[in-house]
Amino acid sequence: MASMLNAPPNCISVKPQKPTLLAGTATSRGLGATRSINLKQRLPSPAMMMIPKMSISALPLDNPTKSNNKFDIPIMVNGCNGKMGKAIISAAESAGLDVVPVSFGSAQESGQAIQVGTKEILVHGPSERESILESLLVKYPNLIVVDFTVPSAVNDNAELYCRVGVPFVMGTTGRDRDQLYKTVEDSKIYAVISPQMGKQVFAFLATMEIMAEQFPGAFFGYSLQVMESHQASKLDTSGTAKAVISCFQKLGVSFDMDQIQLIRDPQKQLEMVGVPEEHLSGHAFHMYHLTSPDQTVSFQFQHNVCGRSIYAEGTVDFVIFLAKKVHSKADKRIYDMRDVLREGNMR
């Protein structure tokens, strides 16, 4: 399995792999008939294999491209004390954006000065958020807020941004997705909301959605096995995996979400999945394997992400995209990754 799922260091590549099969073995997950994934058994030679693979090592570029925007883009990163927040600040500085030295956090974090790269950022608690944000918007009229806080805070934060009238980019959808979208739509402000900030991963997902829409039932009768590996701190199933599976279901595949093989044990991630040890604390390895009813045709889709820079870079593209929409006085509405990809002006 390591040979198939292992992501080469410092690369973005698409390349074929040797044919492999997910052998059926018993597992306690799901309904008992679920098979676990074992990538060491070879697929019989008569089978036809199609293996799109995307391996992304999220390492910083040696010579990051500076932003060539014709106007300043000050950004405020809320949740700056988290790993994702720190990665976004680093990517924003590399792109030439102006990270303001203020952030919102929990009541426990209030008053802390967080050193991130070259920036010392003062964290403010919930009680003073509105007055702080209003004063920042006066000082930085082009301000854009980036929100990577905890899901439980997302809806309240969105209401705050809408009241103050500050454009924002949000990387989670919170506990009440419908209320979040209604709040932003009713406020008529500029916003980008997307739970998936990885541009290439989102493009793969969007492609799957197009295929499911245009070719419903194309994989009727095929069996599906899904494995997803994330850092141990991620307790829930990947939303991206669920979205991809939804596409396969529309393509005619019968599959229950309980059949997803979740791997959170670091030892298994090292030995079975092939996650580099330095990325055990931050990775996303997904594999989807389809097999025809007679076992003679197999399709395999896989994307491996090490680290967080793919999401940080996508967030910076979002910020630049939204800043241009504000600057050009485009429609005030909720944008998503599709809008960014269709515009095609990413760095």
Per-residue pLDDT of 42-96, as tens digits, reads: 344 444 444 555 555 444 434 444 445 556 899 999 989 888 899 999 999 999 9
Give CA–CA dist 192/319, Å, rounded.
Answer: 8
- Categorize the per-residue pLDDT at 6 as very low, low, confident or very high, splitting at 50, 70 and 90: very low
Q: Is 230 a catalytic residue?
A: yes
Instruction: Band the pLDDT of 173: cuts 50, 70, 90.
Output: low
CATH 3.30.360.10 domain position(s) in the chain: 199-307
Instruction: Reply yes or no on whether the pLDDT at 214 is more than 70.
Output: yes
Q: What is the pLDDT of residue 71?
A: 61
Which is catalytic among the residues 86, 230, 250, 289?
A: 230
Contacts 24+ apart (CB under 8 A), 22-30: 22/225, 22/227, 22/289, 22/291, 27/261, 29/258, 29/259, 29/260, 29/261, 29/262, 30/256, 30/258, 30/259
Mean local confidence (pLDDT), 21-35: 39
pLDDT per position as a tens digit, 111-134: 999 998 888 999 998 888 999 999
Give start-end residues of each CATH 3.40.50.720 domain in the chain. Answer: 74-198+309-343
Q: Domain spanning 199-307: which superfamily?
A: Dihydrodipicolinate Reductase; domain 2 (3.30.360.10)
pLDDT at 236 (0 to 100): 83
Q: Is 279 a catalytic residue?
A: no
Neighbours of 326 (CB within 10 A): 18
Residue 10 pLDDT grade (very low, low, confident, very high; cuts 50, 70, 90): very low
The pTM score is 0.74
pLDDT over threshold 50, residue 40: no
Contact 272, 2 (CB under 8 A): yes
Strands 283-291 and 223-230: antiparallel
Given a cut of 80, is residue 222 above it in pLDDT?
A: yes
pLDDT at 210: 96
Residue among 234, 242, 324, 332 flagged as catalytic: 234
For the chain, give the percent of residues with pLDDT over 90: 62
Class (C level, CATH) for 74-198+309-343: alpha beta
* pLDDT tens digit sequence for 247-288: 999 999 999 999 999 999 999 999 999 999 999 999 999 999
Model pLDDT, residue 4: 42
